[in-house]
Amino acid sequence: MRRLKAIIDTTGAKIVLSTSWRRTARATAAVNLQLKRHEIPTAVDKTRIRHNEYLRNEEVLFWIEQHPYVTHWIAIDDLPMPQLGEHYIQTSPDTGLTDANVQRSIQVLTDPKYDRSP
């Protein structure tokens, strides 16, 4: 959570849930409670649910298409999503978010070369 907070504090990024924790109100509330406990702003939205965890990349891309004002974005997950290209930050299910992941996240969220503005 400390590493996630560093990303948010440095970039001003907002959290959109694509995790399986978005499937129920109770689970989403549990995520938001943990975010609050670590002084991280709660999730602002969540992606649609299409009943196939292995198509999560499509859910993320659909959300991005529906929100053209989002100029920089990343997807942090341990589920492989190479379809998201440079916007995908892969974590390990064993170690979670690493310092290297934090550095890469901040780079993608702040570097003008990743800007998708029209």
Q: Could you list the pLDDT tens digit for every one of the 118 residues in the chain?
A: 999 999 999 999 999 999 877 888 999 999 999 999 999 999 999 998 887 777 889 999 999 999 999 999 999 999 899 999 999 999 999 999 999 999 999 999 999 999 987 6
Of 83, 78, 77, 76, the C-alpha closest to 58 is 83
Cα–Cα distance list, 74 to 10, 21, 27, 99 (Å): 14, 18, 22, 16
Give me the residues paired with residue 90 across strands. Answer: 77
Instruction: Say if residues 33 and 5 touch (Cβ distance below 8 Å).
Output: no
Provide the pLDDT for residue 118: 65
Instruction: Say if residues 73 and 84 touch (Cβ distance below 8 Å).
Output: no
The CA distance from 53 to 41, in Å, is 25
Cα–Cα distance list, 26 to 13, 22, 30, 60, 104 (Å): 24, 9, 6, 22, 31
Give me the residues paired with residue 17 across strands. Answer: 46
Residues 6+ apart with CB under 8 A from 111: none
pTM for the model stands at 0.90
Q: What residues does each domain of the chain span?
A: 2-114
Provide the pLDDT for residue 21: 78
